[in-house]
Amino acid sequence: MHCKDSFPPAEIADIPDALIVRTSRPLDAAPLLELDRACFGRRAWTAREWLEVVEEPDWTTLVAELGDRVVGAAALLLWPPEASLASLAVHPKLRRRGLGTLLLRASLARARDARARWLALEVDAVNAAAVRLYRREGFGVARRFCEDGQARLGMVRRLGGTDGR
């Protein structure tokens, strides 16, 4: 039985009506690993790491499903007052349709519901599309660093405020 979570629709184009966003379950570990490999190649998490993410209570993972296929995911650690978006992935064939925005906004809502005061994430500095998405959704650069030879950004967004975002 799929449990469809309700998230604010916001201005998102081209997302199929059949898309379901739900909380992960242990059986999602293998499809999440497949998605992660399609998105991140050799930098993808291992099967063991994905099993931990879907089984451990510290993790909250939102899964976007189209039919019986996992096409997007957002993995969060909710440790108030901070929440961390550890991974945001959208299948390469479905990018630029608003699915990343949908998953990010759902992640923000989950972090607020968990009473976190801010959401932090890390992103490759050269991933211009992701950096634009995060900036558009109110994230600012908190630090710049290098990891495994890659320039990276630590970004943060304060939660709450008068606009409810």
Helix (H) or strand (E) holding 48: helix 47-55
* Strand pairing category for 118-124 and 82-90: parallel
Buried b (16+ CB within 10 A) or exposed e, 76-95: bbbeeeebbbbbbbbbeebe
Closest CA to 64 of 33, 38, 32, 86: 32
81 preceded by a cis bond (ω within 30 of 0): yes
Token readout for 77 is 């650690």
5: how many CB neighbours lie within 10 A of its CB? 14
Domain coordinates in residue numbering, the chain? 19-158
- At residue 13, the pLDDT reads 54
Per-residue pLDDT of the chain (165 residues; tens, 9 = 90+): 233 333 334 444 566 677 889 999 999 999 999 999 999 999 999 999 999 999 999 999 999 998 889 999 999 999 999 999 999 999 998 888 889 999 999 999 999 999 999 999 999 999 999 999 999 999 999 999 999 899 999 999 999 754 444
Which CATH superfamily includes the segment(s) 19-158?
Answer: Gcn5-related N-acetyltransferase (GNAT) (3.40.630.30)
Entry field: residues in the chain: 165
